[in-house]
Amino acid sequence: MKTPLLYRIGHACASHPFRALGGFLAALVLVTVLATAFGGATQENWDVPGTESQRGIDLLRDHVPGAGNADARIVLHDDGPLDMRTVDDLRARLAGLDHVATVDAPQFSSDRDTAIIVVGYDVPVTERSLMGNVEPLEKAVQPTRDAGVQVEMNGGLPETAAAPLKGHAEIIGITLALLILVLALGSVVAAGLPILTAIGGLAVGSAAITLLAATMEVSPSAPLVATMVGLGVGIDYALLVVSRHSEFLRAGHDPVESAARAVATAGRSAMFAALTVLISLMGLRLAGLATYSSFGFATAIAVIAMLAATLVVVPAMCRLCGRRMLPRKVRKASAATAPVASTGREPLSARWAAAVGRRPVAFGLLAVIVMVTLAVPALGMRTWPQDSGAQSTELTTRRAHDILVDEYGPGANSQILIVAPTDTVSGAELASATARITSIPGVAAVSAPAISPDGELAVISVTSAYDPAADGTPEMLAAVRSALPQGAILTGATTYFSDISDKLQERLWVVIGFVVAASVLALMVLFRSIAVPIKAALMNLLSVVAAYGVITAVFQWGWGMQLFGLDHTVAVSSWVPILIFAILFGLSMDYEVFLLSRIREDWLATGDAKGSVVRGLARTGRVITSAAAIMVAVFLSFATEADVVLKMLGLGMATAVLLDATLIRMVLVPATMTLLGRFNWWLPGWLDRILPNVDVEGHGHPTPSVEQQTVRPTATEDPDGELQPV
């Protein structure tokens, strides 16, 4: 029997289902109690250590009250000139808010129908009591709105609460997943089991993430990303085990033995698939930002919780549900006294794999052409951390952005500051630099130096002629930076965003290198092959780049952007490429492990290199397609949220999973494996001796496939994949 430990786990849980479920429930209660007693609150950390703009922000925090910390721009707009008393009353209310350090004098437009009031706080925007909490600001501006004046807000603090989650994504994703499972499994009972398992795993994972927040800074967005990925993999892992359990039931095994064998086989695949996801997630730590580290750890916890739920809850529920896991007509056929002859034809997935195997070059080239075509837009991908200009017009931050552009010009939404310690940079040097900067294309104006209250820092404001996310902003910032004297620092929100974008572009290659190398090594140990891991890595990279291309085409080029609630094109968020790569590379390896495990199982049993590909794809085609459809549904449901970054993540991951389960798994994998033949499983002797031996096949002996069992099967698949009695 394959993987004895997993077999024993599955057998024990199926033999004593109430004990297993009680143990899982007890673990959930324990983790929840611990989270309630000792858990921490989420805490964002947006500092970018090692960047010049971060050093400038730190100097502002030390020497200028209300600078370098959270801020808010309150934008007032009316049909005619604003009443000064209304403006002053609002300023007084704003000054009385908690943590407010400064309320600047209003900056009026030329016709005085618009005013900007900048509010500075004494704590960073990531302060727990402040981040995302715009209620005090809303209360302060409400009397002004009641007086008939339009009041909108953007800036650091309002933008942290700009796009509140609708909370529909999880419900939509689970509902669509349930429908797909009913269609795929033909049984409401079997379809409900993966959903139930995923919900249980999600509950454990959420409580564990709360405990994680007590030990480190966990981004408030990390639990959402963990939920998105956790739901997808949790349903997939459970579906894999349920599907294999159904196979063993059809082969005539009793529910306990079927559940045990399913955990020993499909559970093993789920375990190693989870390992590849965890390897990819750990690559996020190399991005160099605390936010990414929290994304990686939180999502890893969710994946582990889902795997544990799959190995414990699924076999227990399989035992309790018995043969109700099978479609009704299969159960009736099993009880019939007069068996119906099989058509003798192979299922559709087997015939498809055989067709690809007959013309591997043609099919392979066609798939590569499609993938490369989708990836082409990624060559022109431009990244920028999303600001208020990228959001929906239904949000106050976007409305404030548009008013500022109309009344003051595009640069009104930028914040570019030069800070210079007065003991290292002289006034003459600053004056000379100011003259040079004024002539730089894209610079609209440069203010006179303002000295900090303690006299230790000179601050100069640079007004841009561009919107922060415009193509010319990075080049203009580079030119300004090069014109500064030694000791002066370019900072401000716009510069900070530019530095984030540059750093993440550099670190992307480090993350890619680590994740690819670690994944190839893990697959090499698992499958004892050189060709299989390298091929898998190349195909996964292709699917990720194609996802980048689709994101670029939709959001940057505007192809179909209206479907996502956007009214203009935007740059791809700087946060998206690394996050998508780490998550998608691991998820793509999921399907690779699912498929290759069955192919290798057949190869070890028969020694037939080409036939094992056909039979492996035939046995996993429906499961992988169903699992991918669930993933796509879950990810696209998150694209319905208002936040543009979530839209990008949802679309990108749904696209990659769709391509991975169709063009990659159904075309490129069988085509390349057919061409390679026995070389798929070649490993040099010296490397075989060096690599650790993970005996995934169980003491070196392959488990017979369902067709090789001594128990007579009770049903087979007809040409359309439907189950028929035999």
Domain holding 141: CATH number?
Answer: 3.30.70.260
Evaluate whether residue 720 is within a structural domain: no
Residue 487 has pLDDT above 80, yes or no: yes
Question: 539-552 burial, b for 16+ CB within 10 Å, e for fewer?
Answer: bbbbbbbbbbbbbb
pLDDT-wise least confident of 235-244, 356-365, 444-453, 605-614: 605-614
Residues 641 and 653 in one domain: yes
Evaluate whether residue 270 is within a structural domain: yes
Indicate the SS3 state at residue 405. Answer: helix
Residues 526 and 673 in one domain: yes
pLDDT-wise least confident of 38-47, 616-625, 687-696: 687-696
The mean pLDDT of 686-700, rounded to a whole number, is 67
Beta-bridge partner residues of 489: 419
Res. 44 pLDDT band, cuts 50 70 90:
confident
Res. 334 pLDDT band, cuts 50 70 90:
low
Residues 230 and 218 in one domain: yes
Residue 479 has pLDDT above 90, yes or no: yes
Beta-bridge partner residues of 724: 716
Residues 461 and 588 in one domain: no
Residues 351 and 443 in one domain: no
pLDDT computed for residue 694 by the predictor? 64
Res. 162 pLDDT band, cuts 50 70 90:
low
Residues 494 and 505 in one domain: no
Distance CA 150, CA 169 (A): 32
Highest-confidence segment of 536-550, 614-628, 709-723: 536-550
Res. 185 pLDDT band, cuts 50 70 90:
confident
pLDDT computed for residue 404 by the predictor? 94
Between 513 and 330, the more confident residue is 513
Residue 339 has pLDDT above 50, yes or no: no
pTM of the model: 0.82
Highest-confidence segment of 177-191, 306-320, 625-639: 306-320
Between 700 and 182, the more confident residue is 182
Residues 126 and 175 in one domain: no
Residue 329 has pLDDT above 80, yes or no: no
User: Who's near 122: CB < 8 A, 6+ residues apart?
Assistant: 65, 66, 69, 99, 100, 101
Residues 668 and 621 in one domain: yes
Evaluate whether residue 52 is within a structural domain: no
pLDDT computed for residue 170 by the predictor? 66
- pLDDT, one tens digit per residue, over 624-679 is 888 888 888 888 887 877 778 888 988 998 999 899 888 988 889 889 988 888 88
User: Who's near 485: CB < 8 A, 6+ residues apart?
Assistant: 420, 425, 429, 430, 432, 433
> Do residues 588 and 664 lie in contact, with contact meaning Cβ atoms separated by under 8 Å?
yes
Res. 714 pLDDT band, cuts 50 70 90:
very low
Q: Which amino acid is at 305?
A: A
The mean pLDDT of 194-218, rounded to a whole number, is 93
Residue 723 has pLDDT above 50, yes or no: no
- Of 103, 129, 160, which marks where a domain is finished? 160
Residues 351 and 213 in one domain: yes
Residues 88 and 226 in one domain: no
Q: Are strands 416-421 and 114-121 parallel, antiparallel or unpaired?
A: unpaired
- pLDDT, one tens digit per residue, over 98-121 is 999 999 999 999 999 999 999 999
Residue 697 has pLDDT above 60, yes or no: no
**Average pLDDT of every residue of the chain:** 86
pLDDT computed for residue 726 by the predictor? 33
Res. 46 pLDDT band, cuts 50 70 90:
confident
464: tokens are: 């841009």
Return the CATH number at 469. 3.30.70
Q: Which amino acid is at 275?
A: L
The mean pLDDT of 343-352, rounded to a whole number, is 67
Question: 680-701 burial, b for 16+ CB within 10 Å, e for fewer?
Answer: bbeeeeeeeeeeeeeebbbeee
Cα 26 to chain centroid distance, Å, stands at 30
Res. 164 pLDDT band, cuts 50 70 90:
low
Distance CA 118, CA 218 (A): 29
The mean pLDDT of 395-399, rounded to a whole number, is 90
Evaluate whether residue 222 is within a structural domain: yes
- pLDDT, one tens digit per residue, over 233-260 is 888 899 889 988 988 988 888 999 999 9
Residues 407 and 303 in one domain: no
Range of the domain at 462: 391-499
Distance CA 584, CA 544 (A): 7
Distance CA 6, CA 21 (A): 17
Distance CA 309, CA 312 (A): 5
Evaluate whether residue 430 is within a structural domain: yes
What does DSSP assign to residue 703?
Answer: P
Share of the chain above pLDDT 70, in %: 91
Q: How many residues are given for the chain?
A: 726
Evaluate whether residue 319 is within a structural domain: yes
What is the number of structural domains in the chain? 3
Evaluate whether residue 722 is within a structural domain: no
pLDDT computed for residue 347 by the predictor? 66
Residue 431 has pLDDT above 70, yes or no: yes
Residues 447 and 519 in one domain: no
Closest CA to 596 of 644, 524, 488, 538: 524
pLDDT-wise least confident of 67-76, 294-303, 323-332, 516-525: 323-332
> Do residues 537 and 596 lie in contact, with contact meaning Cβ atoms separated by under 8 Å?
no
Evaluate whether residue 373 is within a structural domain: yes
pLDDT computed for residue 614 by the predictor? 81
pLDDT computed for residue 724 by the predictor? 36
- Of 432, 465, 499, which marks where a domain is finished? 499
Angle at 51 between CA 50 and CA 52, to 5 degrees: 125
Distance CA 363, CA 371 (A): 12
pLDDT computed for residue 711 by the predictor? 38
- pLDDT, one tens digit per residue, over 575-588 is 899 988 988 888 77
Beta-bridge partner residues of 72: 119
- Of 499, 525, 542, which marks where a domain is finished? 499
